[in-house]
Amino acid sequence: MIYEGKQKIWADYQKEIPDDHYFYVRSCIRQSFFPASEATFLDITRNRLGKDIFETEHHTTCGGIAYHSDTIPQETVMTIIARQFALMAKNGYENYVCSCITSFGLYCETMETWREFPELEAKIRENLWKTCKLDFAKPKFLIHASDLVYKYRNLIAKQAVHKLVNVHTGQPLRVVEHIGCHYSKMFPSKGVGGAEYPYVLVGMIEAWGGEIVDYPERRHCCGFGFRQYFIKGNRGYSISNTHKKFESMEPFHPDFIITNCPGCPYFMDRWQYVIAESTGKTYGKDGHGIPVLTYEEVAGLVMGYDPWDLGLQTHQVGVEPLLDKMGIEYDPEKKYLGKGGKDIGQPEPCICMK
Amino acid sequence: MVMGRLYDLLMKDYRLREGLNACINCGTCTAVCPAAEFYRYDPRRIVDIVQSKDEEEIEKLLRSDTIWYCGECMSCVTRCPRKNAAGLIIMALRNLSIELGYFIESEKGRQQFLLTKDLCSNVLDYGYCVYPRRFDYAGHPEAGRVWEWEEKHLDDVFERLGGNLDGPGPGAMRRIPQEDRDQLKAIFDETGATERMEKVRAAGLKKAAELGMTEEEFSRMVYFTSDPKHLNH
């Protein structure tokens, strides 16, 4: 086949994603703030689609947040990563799938640096043996968990209970997709669709019936900035960037936002709350915010999971307007109940944001 | 100052060797940079200074607030027409600033005192960079009323959502076995992270003493202070 023009460019950004047999590593932020998202990913892939996704309790953080906050040397983070790779090989896997975008970017950076500087890879191998008596093999395929859901998007669509369609109007839901910066901004060829036109989330939305919203600041960072959030005096950086994105998307009236980075949904959800409570401004209709979901949560809604099993009650921006549009039934009385219906109270109400 | 000393030290960092090719000073990195909009920050200028090998200017950078403004989002990498990576150059500058002890001289640089203490202890104590029991609502009011509620009922919330907070075996926020955390400590010791932690802590405590502050007073100042001079408007 002869590729021309845009076809050729597009072909450069296709990514081979194996169908099955993955070693899974979790994300520090996703586990902390969206534990149900990781549970849903594993339930969909293992139990609904019958895939082999293996997890060991012995894996740890990749160290990425500490590294990008400049608190540990590059050699340290690379040796931690090598240890993760060693666990993959030890358990008989070649395909590596990670939940975190910071991790994904860092794995790409590490593999690329080792390719350019083989002596560094040799040093890391030596470090790992000296400290852990482990040897590592590099993954044959390095995949982000959103790549895998993208790969399975049509299988998920076949099992869909709900579509990304407004049941009251019959129109597709209007969706903002926000890609984590470290997914493909550093290594465009490692992400589905590259950095300019990443397709990983767009593909899911299209397959599940929604419509993508384009807006000027679509590729702008959510504003995490590592040290720019962890230190309280720096947090103006973080909220300012989220604010910029929301001001830019507001005129396009998105129904919700889908994200593939674990940090972005936290910041875009929580900073909307702060903007609302400090200025009275909300970006959804009638005092509501714009719900910000992980791709696992969106897949779960499409497949008919209960919204409260997906953890949507732990978002500060209420998701009920979205559930109503999709025609999803839910019990408001059960929103904040613990396991087995245990009463564990509920959050205090917001002043401005519904 | 021996000519080229700092530049040579920077060039030992793989990130600089990867990140600095031939900057043409077009300013695309600055145009797209989230930090440059918020802070008085110009990554184009930083790359140009490093490329110039001007020791005096590089030393000024290493002692300045400027190199600490970047959020390491790496948006600059995508857009540079010459495949430079201003974000990686910043990481190399920060690394050298810490190695030489210059970081403690600037308001933003000395934030490493808290960042290193908090993030490294999370990694060594729990095996995670972020650990929910150490993410308190009082310190993070923007986490919302929902996090205030979650914090009070963390075990119940994790149980409800299929997590395994501090539990055995696999799962979200499981207790990572001691043997694995021991391996992380061994990696820290072997690869310079422990030495880095000690160096940053010693520099912070020395600075606190110079300012006549206790560690707690110094920590509070570092955590809360942000001089408006940093801002772009």
- Averaged pLDDT score across all residues of chain A: 96
Identify all chain A residues contacting B84, using CB atoms and an 8 Å cutoff. none
Same domain (yes/no): A163, A311: yes
Q: Is B2 left (phi over 0), alpha (psi -120 to 50) or beta?
A: beta
A240 within domain boundaries = yes
Put simply, the answer to whether B193 touches A72 (Cβ < 8 Å) is yes
Per-residue pLDDT tens over the stretch B188-200 = 999 999 999 999 9
Same domain (yes/no): A174, A45: no
* Pairing between β-strand A95-98 and β-strand A141-144 as defined by DSSP bridges: parallel
Put simply, the answer to whether B146 touches A313 (Cβ < 8 Å) is yes
Taking the C-alpha atoms of residue A269 and residue A319, their distance in angstroms, rounded to an integer, is 11
Residue B145 CA: distances (Å) to CA of A264, A273, A311, B58, B151: 19, 9, 15, 45, 10
ipTM exceeds 0.90, yes or no: yes
Taking the C-alpha atoms of residue A294 and residue A288, their distance in angstroms, rounded to an integer, is 19
Put simply, the answer to whether B34 touches A74 (Cβ < 8 Å) is no
Put simply, the answer to whether B98 touches A70 (Cβ < 8 Å) is yes
Inter-chain CB pairs, A–B, below 8 Å: 262
How sure is the predictor about A182, in pLDDT bands with cuts at 50, 70 and 90? very high
| Option in B170, B173, B231 nearest A56 (CB) | B170
Expressed in angstroms, the distance from the first to the final Cα of chain B is 36
How sure is the predictor about A10, in pLDDT bands with cuts at 50, 70 and 90? low
Put simply, the answer to whether A227 touches B115 (Cβ < 8 Å) is yes
Domain boundary residue among A145, A160, A187?
A: A145
Please say if the pLDDT value at position A262 is more than 60.
Answer: yes
User: Touching check for B145 and chain A: CB below 8 Å?
Assistant: yes
Give the gyration radius of chain B's Cα atoms. 20
Task: State the nearest Cα–Cα gap between B122 and chain A, in angstroms.
Answer: 9
- A211-212: strand order across its sheet: A211-212, A174-178, A256-259, A292-294
- Domain with residue A164: its CATH number is 3.40.50.11810
Please say if the pLDDT value at position A125 is more than 80.
Answer: yes
A31 within domain boundaries = yes
A7 within domain boundaries = no
Per-residue pLDDT tens over the stretch B78-116 = 999 999 999 999 999 999 999 999 999 999 999 999 999
Domain boundary residue among A145, A175, A193?
A: A145
Same domain (yes/no): A198, A138: no
Task: State the nearest Cα–Cα gap between B163 and chain A, in angstroms.
Answer: 6
Same domain (yes/no): A127, A219: no
A265 within domain boundaries = yes
The total number of structural domains that make up chain A: 2
Please say if the pLDDT value at position B1 is more than 50.
Answer: no
Identify all chain A residues contacting B146, using CB atoms and an 8 Å cutoff. 313-316, 347
A167 within domain boundaries = yes
| Option in A120, A131, A350 nearest B183 (CB) | A131
Question: Given this model, what pLDDT does residue A5 score?
Answer: 72
Taking the C-alpha atoms of residue A71 and residue A65, their distance in angstroms, rounded to an integer, is 9
Same domain (yes/no): A161, A99: no
Taking the C-alpha atoms of residue A95 and residue B80, their distance in angstroms, rounded to an integer, is 32
Taking the C-alpha atoms of residue A123 and residue A155, their distance in angstroms, rounded to an integer, is 43
Domains of chain B are 5-103 (1.10.1060.10), 109-226 (no CATH)
Put simply, the answer to whether B184 touches A226 (Cβ < 8 Å) is no
Q: What domain range includes position A203?
A: 146-341
User: Touching check for A129 and chain B: CB below 8 Å?
Assistant: no
Q: Please report the DSSP string for B56-74 in residue order.
A: HHHHHHHTSSGGG------
Domain boundary residue among A127, A145, A163?
A: A145
Put simply, the answer to whether A221 touches B120 (Cβ < 8 Å) is no
How sure is the predictor about A13, in pLDDT bands with cuts at 50, 70 and 90? confident
User: Touching check for A26 and chain B: CB below 8 Å?
Assistant: yes
User: Touching check for B203 and chain A: CB below 8 Å?
Assistant: no
Please say if the pLDDT value at position B167 is more than 80.
Answer: yes
Put simply, the answer to whether B225 touches A233 (Cβ < 8 Å) is yes
B55 touches B61 (CB < 8 A): no
Per-residue pLDDT tens over the stretch A39-94 = 999 999 999 999 999 999 999 999 999 999 999 999 999 999 999 999 999 999 99
Tell me the residues of chain A between 204 and 263 that have a Cβ less than 8 Å away from chain B: 219-221, 223-228, 230-237, 239-241, 244
A107 touches B215 (CB < 8 A): no
Tell me the residues of chain A between 323 and 352 that have a Cβ less than 8 Å away from chain B: 336-339, 342, 344-350
| Option in A120, A231, A240 nearest B14 (CB) | A120
Identify all chain B residues contacting A242, using CB atoms and an 8 Å cutoff. none
User: Touching check for B73 and chain A: CB below 8 Å?
Assistant: yes
Same domain (yes/no): A108, A155: no
User: Touching check for B111 and chain A: CB below 8 Å?
Assistant: yes
| Option in A79, A240, A346 nearest B149 (CB) | A346
Question: Given this model, what pLDDT does residue B4 score?
Answer: 67
Put simply, the answer to whether A36 touches B37 (Cβ < 8 Å) is no
Same domain (yes/no): A57, A119: yes
Put simply, the answer to whether A314 touches B116 (Cβ < 8 Å) is no
Task: State the nearest Cα–Cα gap between A36 and chain B, in angstroms.
Answer: 5
Nearest CA in chain B to A334: B160
Same domain (yes/no): A248, A125: no
Same domain (yes/no): A243, A219: yes
User: Touching check for B209 and chain A: CB below 8 Å?
Assistant: no
User: Touching check for A138 and chain B: CB below 8 Å?
Assistant: no
Put simply, the answer to whether B74 touches A66 (Cβ < 8 Å) is no
| Option in B111, B129, B143 nearest A270 (CB) | B143
Mean pLDDT, residues A4-27? 85
A58 touches A87 (CB < 8 A): yes
Same domain (yes/no): A63, A164: no
Taking the C-alpha atoms of residue A295 and residue A292, their distance in angstroms, rounded to an integer, is 10
Put simply, the answer to whether B157 touches A314 (Cβ < 8 Å) is yes
Same domain (yes/no): A141, A92: yes
Mutation for testing the A interface, residue in B13, B40, B124, B191 having most A CBs under 10 Å: B191
Taking the C-alpha atoms of residue A194 and residue A8, their distance in angstroms, rounded to an integer, is 13
A56 within domain boundaries = yes
A76 touches B192 (CB < 8 A): yes
Same domain (yes/no): A186, A268: yes
User: Can you tell me which residue has the tokens 């240890």?
Assistant: A83
A3 within domain boundaries = no
| Option in B75, B139, B191 nearest A181 (CB) | B75
User: Touching check for B150 and chain A: CB below 8 Å?
Assistant: yes
A10 within domain boundaries = no
- H-assigned helices in B80-192: 86-99, 112-126, 144-152, 154-160, 178-191
